[in-house]
Amino acid sequence: MPLTHTHDELSAWLRLSLEPDLGPSLAYALLSALGEPAQIYARRAAELMRHVPQSLALQLASEPLGEIAEKIETTLRWVEEPGRHILTLADPAYPRQLLTIADPPLLLYVAGDPAQLSKPGLAVVGARSATPGGAENARAFSRHLAAQGWSVVSGLALGIDGAAHEGALAAGPEGAGTVAVMGTGIDRIYPAAHRDLAHRIAAHGALISELPLGTQVRAFNFPRRNRLVAGLARGVLVVEAAKQSGSLITARLAAESGREVFAIPGSIHSPLSRGCHALIRQGAKLVETAQDITDELGLPTPDARPAPAARSVQARSPAAPESPLLHALGHDPLHLDALQARTGLDTATLQAQLLELELAGHVARLDDGRFQRLAS
């Protein structure tokens, strides 16, 4: 895949993603106001203080800390190897469907084929302590879905996740492949039992992580991983899940983003059926065969929306200040559902356009989730 960033540009993106005390909202605010990271780091502290606290402005205006500089150099060496890629928000290969979630990663580490991330995807998730029948269902459903052209997205965990990846790979070279979203650095395979599986996924699909190289297992990173599993997929199938489980978080995030949620029912006596039954009561579609899913969603089709062109993050978005979306937003803050009602746009298109407007400095996302038009 051709490079879309120079060495210095990619270094700046990496530094922005690694900056201590700079969370996603402040990073997005800087990108919106000042442009791509290389432009941010070219500013003086006094100008940066208009957007971030003084201590952070001084940090950004100084040379990177030694540990950060070392991580950047290590990562730049990592990405030089074949089959390794880093996609930034300004990269045309960045998966467009992730622009529909509330906080898309600044960048993604990819081992494998980046084009895999833009294929129509379905997430298959479930319990780590899966029953033999649950694992077999995950393999069978995933093999059928991959053979029908759906890229199977999951989290590389033991149990259902691993079985889903195995099933997708079993569809062979004619299948759509699989994406494993990791909750560790991409160079830290977890669980270790899935090391061989991870290598096969990288060879016939893609491993991805938003976490820096070397990031070890930390419990709080897995819910964040789940939002990417949901974000990359057009629907989520929950195979087995306890009443309280990470799979239900993935399903909730999918539903909130307008994705379809499917669940396989099970025995009323099995604890691993209770999560699926709860989802069905809440409106998830009960499925007994993989054909039930394809009957609901149809055959996968490529995203009809045009891929974003390579651009500066500060460049004016296709939705310019006089656009219908900005006209619908008006000058009072609005929640997404209200804006959707005004525009009639589907959730994915609306969120993608809002992010473009936010990065271009026309719109701000407020702390309560509403969107506010900014003065041009």
**Cα 123 from chain centroid (whole Å):** 12
pLDDT tens digits along 170-215: 999 999 999 999 999 999 999 999 999 999 999 999 999 999 999 9
* Sequence spans of domains, the chain: 1-80, 114-297, 324-373
Coil, helix or strand at residue 361: coil
Q: Any idea which of 23-37, 58-72, 143-157, 293-307 has the lowest mean pLDDT?
A: 293-307
Local confidence band at 132 (pLDDT 50, 70, 90 cut-offs): very high
| pLDDT of 286 strictly over 50 | yes
Ranges of H-type helices in 148-270: 160-170, 195-204, 221-232, 246-256
pLDDT (0 to 100) of residue 333: 79
Does residue 191 have a cis peptide bond before it, meaning omega lies within 30 degrees of 0?
A: yes
**Cα 226 from chain centroid (whole Å):** 9
β-strand partners of 237: 124, 262
Q: Which amino acid is at 144?
A: H
In CATH terms, the fold of domain 324-373 is Arc Repressor Mutant, subunit A (1.10.10)
Distance CA 19, CA 302 (A): 36
Q: Which amino acid is at 49?
A: M
pTM of the model: 0.80
Distance CA 22, CA 31 (A): 12
Distance CA 322, CA 328 (A): 10
pLDDT (0 to 100) of residue 319: 39
Distance CA 287, CA 71 (A): 46
Residue 18, both tokens: 């690694």
**Cα 8 from chain centroid (whole Å):** 25
Local confidence band at 304 (pLDDT 50, 70, 90 cut-offs): very low
Distance CA 171, CA 94 (A): 26
pLDDT tens digits along 253-280: 889 888 999 999 999 999 999 999 999 9
Local confidence band at 340 (pLDDT 50, 70, 90 cut-offs): confident
- The domain 114-297 having CATH identifier 3.30.70.60: the answer here is no
